[in-house]
Chains A and B, each alone.
Chain A
Amino acid sequence: MQQDENLAAGSATPWDDNGQLEVLTFDVGDERLAVEAVSIREILDLLPETPVPGAPDLVASVVNFRGKIIPIADLRVAFGMPRNPAEEAHPDHRIVVIETEIDGEPLQIGLRSDKVHEVTILDRADSSEPPVLGMRWRREFVRELVRQPGSVIVIPNLPTIFTSLAEAA
């Protein structure tokens, strides 16, 4: 238990009283990410996407999600991973629709994912804040790293990622 709770404003991970958090884990590139289960709206098969010319790379396209137009985000852009060069659709690919709040406005966003794993419970005892050194990524984009047997799960700080990468453009 050595986390600094105030890593950055609005970035506190909502651990419950028992120090646990229910999350959905999914792969983006080579990394396994986790997003709180309460913010997940739906997991979709790939939909035909419509590119938006002039939009930031992070949210370069939109889809029709039940009659609403929602942006599709590619978190590989935020974590500096190479974008899927062939853009070939794999049967495991999914879109994870989350609802988050950006600038006080609720917003539904589809996250492109290479494979969706499971809803699981993470333990606060296994987590630590991102190291100051030794990370390729912008530190404010990561809320916490959670150690698992044989791997590390990244809890991304989605509001920060979207405000800094999507609105700056």
Chain B
Amino acid sequence: MSGQDPIAAFRVEAGELLDATEQALLDLSHDLESRALIDTVFRGMHTLKGSGAMFGFDALAAFTHHCETTFDSVRKGLIPATAELVALTLAAMDHMRTLVDDRDGSSASAVGEDLLARLHALLGNAHASAATLSDGEEASRVGPAASCLGHQSWHVTFRLPSDALTNGTNPLILLDELRDLGGTNLAVDLSAVPPLDELDPTQCHLGWALDLPASVTREEIEDVFIFVIDDMELSIEAIGNQAEAVGTSGDALPASEDLPIKNSSQVVPVAEARGSPLSRPASESVRVPADRLDLLMDRVGELVIVQSRLAQLTSNGVSGPAGELALRSISEEVERLANELRDTMMVLRMVPIASLFGRFRRLVHDLARETGKSIELETDGESTEIDKTVSERLADPIVHLIRNSCDHGLETEEDRIAAGKSPSGRLRLSAQQAGGEVLITIEDDGRGISRERVRAKAEANGLIQPGQVLSDSELLQLIFQPGFSTASQITNLSGRGVGMDVVKRTIEGLRGNIDMTSEPGKGSVITLRIPLTLAIIDGLLVRVGNGKYVIPLAAVEECLELSLEEDIRSRGRSMIQLRERLVPFLRLRELFATGTRPDPYQKIVVIATGGERVGLVVDQIIGSHQTVIKSMSSLHRSIPSFSGATILGDGGVALILDVVQLVALGQSHEERLRAAG
């Protein structure tokens, strides 16, 4: 814990607490009678209030206090839990999030006041008595602090627990903090230092005394000692005389007699003074289950053992068959460990997709209210794990897809009944792992995608020629074209015509794929195929001229041989026939200008993204290759054909082909040919 900013830690924890409480609230909206859920919500708020106050988030604590009081009334059966209350509380949770980010909350206090007013209105008389009670409580809580105000300075004496140094507490840091608060007249108390022969240097024998100005609050002083306060001796005495000493902080505290909400906004000066040096952005952190760390530790331990074996072997000299055998066994051991370390390391970066899905429950809840439709969200496969970075980058595209489904896909209640469906629309979000990929499907049982409207729209936007023959999947792929939107009415949910192409690009940026099927009247299914990790992929190693290249295996459909006569025949058109379909192909040898003669038996690797296929003509297919992706320097990043590079077993470098770019290149090549002939 030492070294970590406690405020940042609180923010992380509060975020998780809010998430959990929000989930409970959403569950509660389906089951308003559940006592367990009401208790969970109440406990969540209670904890938030307590820890908020402890870390100086006074606005948050004050605001949360009222929501907590409300749920206390619900818990005691004074008022019923209603859908309206849940919705209002959800809005209040949003406000709490603001207050967690923005400690003084001054920018949003109007929102808070409005929310509280609505809560009060909702609770009516049942709440009135509780409110006065709570105000009384608050006043008494603040009371002692207020009574300490009439003084000129503080005299603080403290002595750390004797084991403080072993626990990682650094008294120098504490003293620095006290100095920052304006501490003066620092004196060391050496009375407890034992004679030299009994001195244990790992124990803390010193005590300190110092004076602090009155402008510092008691809480601020206690904050300095927050991690040791339970075990230490600390006395904080107010010294000097009353009267004129009502200083800067004096303005803030008498407000506690006022309405609590005003109180929260007026505590600002103190909070600001304290908050400013700490308001730097929190660095990103990952929570790792301890057993995974243990696993990693085991592997590292084994690695150290193997290393010492190797050192021993080299010092004894590797000679004779016995030495060679020993060396070989070490090599195998290292190989196994490297594999295991890689796997363990990758697992460390994995988070269950539940954290991602959790956010969408709230979204669907809000969307249902906004559109007036009744929508049920089902989730499945929430324990599927996915790389943390991938999970974060997936959030926005999925939000967009869900909005589209709710807005365009699902019908209103009347339309659904007229179509003979259940009154409430069903949205299903599921995840499953398949090989090195995670499949995420977003499925709705709405009206499906109208091919006629897609076609009409694409023709109107000039994406296709009128009457152009397109396969069904080609037609559906049009939705992902830039500037395409089928909503004839623009709502604030979706329909701005930006989005689906951005979704597609984001997914492809994660080296994933997006596929869509849709049955008119029955609904649509969108499938996202996302690789498990961004760092390592399975690749197909090929040779073009003298260079070696890696094609991501996930994109490879099949490998064929390009016979000599077919090669000659196809000179003019660069198309091959593949099961009744013409597939354009690119001669990588020409594209990369290798200046070498083609191998007599060239191969075609057919790659695909979405429904589009392109063949790549290579000289030789070497085989599959576990590819650790390395990025290229900024000097090479603008070259479109490559997405990165990797290091081969012999230390050489192979470039990784950018499948999306090559397919686009092949398709435009094909279009030029079509246009020409």
Contacts and interface: CB of A to CB of B under 8 A. Distances in A.
Contacts of A68: 630
Given A48-B651, A52-B655, A69 B645 contact: yes
Interface in A49-73: 50-56, 59, 62-64, 67-71
Interface in B573-627: 591-594
Interface stretch (A7-15, A100-108, A145-153): A100-108
B341 to A, nearest CB: 15
B652 A52 contact: no
A41 B591 CA distance: 35
A48 B639 contact: no
A59 B638 CA distance: 13
Contacts of B547: 50-51, 53
A62 B634 contact: no
B313 interface: no
A54 B479 CA distance: 32
B423 to A, nearest CB: 57
A53 B591 contact: yes
B569 interface: no
Residue in A52, A56, A108 whose Cβ sees the most chain B Cβ within 10 Å: A52
Nearest to B645: A69
Contacts of B591: 53
A69 B632 contact: yes
Contact of B632 (A47, A51, A62, A109): A62
Interface string B629-662: 0111111101111100101000111110000000
Interface in A15-30: none
A169 B645 CA distance: 20
Nearest to B640: A54
A46 to B, nearest CB: 13
Interface in A38-96: 47-48, 50-56, 59, 62-64, 67-71
A69 B653 contact: yes
B633 A55 contact: no
Nearest to B592: A53
B676 to A, nearest CB: 24
A107 B633 CA distance: 7
Contacts of A105: 634
Interface in A95-137: 102-103, 105, 107-109
Interface string B532-576: 000000000000000110000000000000000000000000000
A27 to B, nearest CB: 23
A105 B632 CA distance: 13
Nearest to A67: B647
Contacts of B632: 52, 62, 69, 71
Contacts of B647: 64, 67, 69
Given A55-B639, A69-B630, A70-B633, A64 B593 contact: no
A107 B636 CA distance: 12
A109 B634 CA distance: 11
A44 B654 CA distance: 20
Contact of A62 (B548, B640, B645): B645
A167 B593 CA distance: 21
A63 to B, nearest CB: 6
Contact of B652 (A48, A67, A71, A107): A48
- How many A residues touch the partner, as a band? 20 to 34
A149 to B, nearest CB: 36
A67 B654 CA distance: 13
Contacts of B655: 50, 52, 62
A107 B653 contact: no
B652 A50 contact: yes
A37 interface: no
Contact of A69 (B592, B593, B633, B639): B633
A69 B655 CA distance: 10
Q: Main SS of the interface on chain B?
A: loop
A86 B654 CA distance: 24
A144 B332 CA distance: 55
B653 A62 contact: yes
B635 A162 contact: yes
A166 B634 CA distance: 9
Nearest to A70: B633
B511 to A, nearest CB: 18
A166 B651 contact: no
Contacts of A50: 547-548, 645, 652-655
A167 B633 CA distance: 11
Residue in A56, A62, A70 whose Cβ sees the most chain B Cβ within 10 Å: A62
Contacts of B593: 53
A30 B619 CA distance: 39
B638 A167 contact: yes
B634 A52 contact: no
A59 B547 CA distance: 16
A64 B653 contact: yes
A52 B639 contact: yes
Given A63-B653, A64-B651, A64-B653, A52 B633 contact: no
Contact of A71 (B592, B630, B636): B636
B572 to A, nearest CB: 24
A107 B641 contact: no
Nearest to A58: B635
A59 B645 CA distance: 15
B592 A107 contact: no
B636 A103 contact: no
Contacts of B634: 102-103, 105, 107
A127 B628 CA distance: 47
Nearest to A53: B592
B654 A52 contact: no
Contacts of A54: 592, 639-641
Nearest to B654: A50
Nearest to A49: B653
A70 B655 CA distance: 12
B633 A64 contact: no
Nearest to B546: A51
A116 to B, nearest CB: 22
Contacts of A109: 633, 635
Given A53-B593, A54-B592, A62-B645, A71 B633 contact: yes
A109 B398 CA distance: 40
Residue in B633, B634, B640 whose Cβ sees the most chain A Cβ within 10 Å: B633
B595 to A, nearest CB: 10
A162 B547 CA distance: 25
A48 to B, nearest CB: 5
Nearest to B632: A69
B638 A52 contact: no
A103 to B, nearest CB: 7
Interface of B: 547-548, 591-594, 630-636, 638-642, 645, 647, 651-655
Given A54-B592, A55-B639, A69-B630, 19 more contacts: A50-B548, A52-B636, A53-B593, A54-B640, A56-B635, A62-B633, A62-B653, A63-B653, A64-B653, A67-B647, A69-B631, A69-B645, A69-B653, A71-B632, A102-B634, A107-B635, A108-B633, A162-B635, A167-B638
28 contacts: A48-B651, A48-B652, A50-B645, A50-B653, A50-B655, A52-B632, A52-B655, A53-B547, A53-B594, A55-B635, A59-B636, A62-B632, A62-B653, A64-B652, A64-B653, A67-B647, A69-B632, A69-B633, A71-B632, A102-B634, A103-B634, A107-B633, A107-B634, A107-B635, A109-B635, A162-B635, A167-B638, A169-B638
10 closest A-B pairs by CB: A53-B592, A50-B653, A166-B635, A69-B645, A54-B639, A69-B630, A59-B635, A64-B647, A71-B635, A71-B633
